[in-house]
Amino acid sequence: MSDLSAYRQFLAGKALLDPPSGIPEPRDLPECLFDFQAAVTGWALKRGRAALFAGTGLGKSLMELAWAQAVHRETGGDVLHLAPLAVSAQLGREAEKFGLAARVVRAGRECEPGTNITNFQKLDHFDTSRFAGVILDESSILKSTDGHYRTRLIEECAGIPFRLAATATPAPNDFMELGNHAEFLGVMSYTDMLATFFTHDGGDTRQWRLKGHAEDAFWHWMASWAVMLRRPSDLGYEDGAYRLPPLRQFEHMVSAPAAEGDFGLFAPVAVTLKDRLAARRETVAQRIAKAASLTPADRPCVWWCNLNAESEGLTAIIPGAVEVRGSDDPDEKERKLVAFSEGRIRVLVTKPSIAGFGMNWQHCADTGFVGLTDSFEQVYQSIRRFWRFGQTMPVNVHFVVAEAEGAVLANQRRKEADAERMAAAMVRHMAGFSSRAVRGVTRERGAYAPALRMQLPDWIGEAA
């Protein structure tokens, strides 16, 4: 081997791109896939271990099911498809709708050859080592570095050759979530990712930012194992039916009962967490009364709450409303959520932490929040249960908050604007890399006609 060849081999070894380890030429993908879905699914199969960061309503469930079917067909092994509570039943209906073989199971003994769908909560009942593939539907469960499921999934799935993690576009600048996905897929550990691409500001090791010189390398590395898109055109395809109807947001400020001797013209602004909790508790009756008055009498509606007093009060005064509580048995939660999905419950009252992720509720176009937190992700995900591909009506979202909590609502608006701007930047950074990887597109270059003969430095030596 010449010195030049050895040097090129050395440089190739320094590359951080994660090589494909899957099916070289995926075949016979379902015809029901749109062109961009087929391209993404084929890319994920070639990768073997891949992340799919796709906006809500782009058909992640269908792509996951098609991926699982291909893995089973090519390897003969089974696939474990993990999903949030009630989403497993939804995936089962999706598979039946498109004629894809899959079944919902509660324990390993119920598994059959092919795709087996279950809830994350039932992970204890399965031996993950027996599966050739695993899918995480709503893989944002990997978000927390010290989360129970995060550590367990990374450790128990490390030996599974085919891994697919799918979720909506990750929270902008949430590098912890990106690092946990890389670690789950066996690409690079979270700590190695930080050491390679990031630096922390001052003495606060929780605040990480991309090294200036590493930004392009980071997004190029990301695109070697993840695809990120908010709409088909991010990968060069036509958006077509993915243009959504209007999203209409309404704010309703509710005053707290005046305290005896209080003659102030304006409600004091809640600043501390203690102040916010006090403002919420003082206005529960006023807020649930306002929410009840906004509830349509002849259409499906979902109200999102944070306090038990809010959900209990709303359920009591809205005719026919059904509450899904955190204390409900998991099977009872699933029964109620499925009943709403199928139209057997008209008004649902619950919390974002219970049903804000994964459900497809395009049959409903009216929703609202009778209690808010600073979690932008919970609000975003909850709204996206309705405002997604397949929704044919304008979506109405009501925010019913105490006047003293105006700062919380303003903070949500700021985070919404920041998230949109940063998500667009993330997609823009990865778009070129992802489009070339998924579509096999290469940039055309003009022919290069050198005027001078290249000379190598003496320390490399002459090429043989």
CATH architecture type of domain 18-26+34-241: 3-Layer(aba) Sandwich (3.40)
Residue 263's pLDDT is what?
A: 45
Residue 45's pLDDT is what?
A: 97
SS3 of residue 344 by DSSP: coil
CB 305 within 8 A of CB 355: no
Distance of CA 258 to the CA centre of its chain: 43
> Which DSSP category does 327 fall into?
T
Residue 258's pLDDT is what?
A: 53
Residue 206's pLDDT is what?
A: 62
Residues 74, 23: Cα–Cα separation, whole Å: 8
Residue 255's pLDDT is what?
A: 86
Torsion of CA 247, 229, 176, 355, to 10 degrees: 40
Residue the block writes with tokens 């809010």: 310
| CATH of region 244-257+267-415 | 3.40.50.300
Residue 372's pLDDT is what?
A: 80
Q: Which residues pair with 208 in a beta bridge?
A: 200
Query: What are the extents of the domains in the chain?
Result: 18-26+34-241, 244-257+267-415
Residues 329, 354: Cα–Cα separation, whole Å: 12
Same fold yes or no, 18-26+34-241 and 244-257+267-415:
yes
Q: Which residues of the chain have pLDDT under 50?
A: 7, 10-14, 260-261, 263, 265, 441-448, 463-464
Residue 52's pLDDT is what?
A: 94
